[in-house]
Amino acid sequence: MALDPKFRALLALPGMQLGRPPVEVTPAMMREGVKALASPLPPPPVHEVKNMSIKGPAGQIAVRLYYPTSVRPLPLTVFAHGGGWVLCDLDSHDNLCRALALASGSVIAAVDYRLAPEAKFPGPLEDCYAALTQLVAQASSLGLDASRVAVCGDSAGANLAAALVLLARERKGPAICFQALMWPVTDASCTSASYTSLGEGYMLSRDIMLWFWECYLASPQDASNPLAAPLREKNLAGLPPASISTCEYDVLRDEGEAYADALREAGVNVTSRRYLGMIHGFVSFPQVTEVAGRALADMGSDLAAALYAPT
């Protein structure tokens, strides 16, 4: 399918093509630029938003919980935001988390993990794991059901969510029953066919992905560590079911679909969808395409089906 014409017009606007930043542009400067481009759309109303702080491996970590209803206890979905491990924060993904809470019927707990390059691998992942373990430990007081826990994320956040599943297995808990991955980063090589054919001109470029990886990894050897690059994991058997979404015009498309295939080959139940005509992160542009709302509804439905399945 051809690129959605609405996105063709959007991509032609100044500043919509993300390439490797000039050396004089720091990650902190880029973060401020992202904030300046924040969506002016009104946030979807949810029953309650609770801001809390949990103890992380290098200090306090902010966590924002979105309660869709007054019902207690509710299932928990731990969410990691995208942004190449370098950009974005709780506010940049506020609307998305609200929509997912409403669509899934679960509490979305967004984790404000430390960003690269100030905190390199495995720092951001360890922050997410600390949040997961403490949220589960405090489930009763927070109105959460510790027996119904999922992880979710978009892009680099989906990388963290997938790695969180592997880390929880390695450390024997907490139990995770589902992983919802939106256009996940799963491999550091940046050599897939979609990187070749879609490496520039579709917002997220091969050049900036290479830069993101340089910011995130502490050493070249980390590129083969499955906790950094989940596609490198040789034993995927026994992992929780997954929902994996990809975008037709996205450099990350093939590695996300390769991870879905690898999970299936290991006997994991996987639902996968490729959104035709869409670019990376299109759910952040509901004002551009109605497919954004449909994709969030799809992911929310997958989470609900897993978290509300009869036991």
DSSP string, 113-162: PPPTTTS-TTHHHHHHHHHHHHHHHTHHHHTEEEEEEEEEEETHHHHHHH
pTM above 0.75, yes or no: yes
Give the position of tokens 């491996």: 57
Give the other-Cβ count within 10 Å of 230's Cβ. Answer: 29
Chain centroid offset of residue 272 CA: 15
**Vertex 157: Cα angle to 177 and 101 (nearest 5):** 60
User: What's the pLDDT at 255?
Assistant: 98
User: What's the pLDDT at 117?
Assistant: 98
Strand 242-249, strand 144-154: pairing: unpaired
User: What's the pLDDT at 43?
Assistant: 93
Three-class SS of residue 302? helix
User: What's the pLDDT at 72?
Assistant: 98
User: What's the pLDDT at 59?
Assistant: 96
Where b means 16+ CB within 10 Å and e means fewer, 109-129 reads bbbbbbbbbebbbbbbbbbbb
CA-CA-CA-CA torsion sign (133, 134, 135, 140):
positive
- Compute φ and ψ for 286, nearest 5 degrees: -65, -20
Q: Which structural domains are found in the chain, ordered by start?
A: 5-307 (3.40.50.1820)
CB 211 within 8 A of CB 26: no
List the catalytic residues: 155, 250, 280
User: What's the pLDDT at 310?
Assistant: 86
**Cα(158)–Cα(53) distance, integer angstroms:** 22
Where b means 16+ CB within 10 Å and e means fewer, 209-226 reads bebbbebbbeeeebbebb
pLDDT, averaged per 10 consecutive residues of the chain (311 residues), comes to 93 91 94 79 95 97 98 98 98 97 98 98 98 98 98 98 98 98 98 98 97 98 98 98 98 98 98 98 94 97 96 71
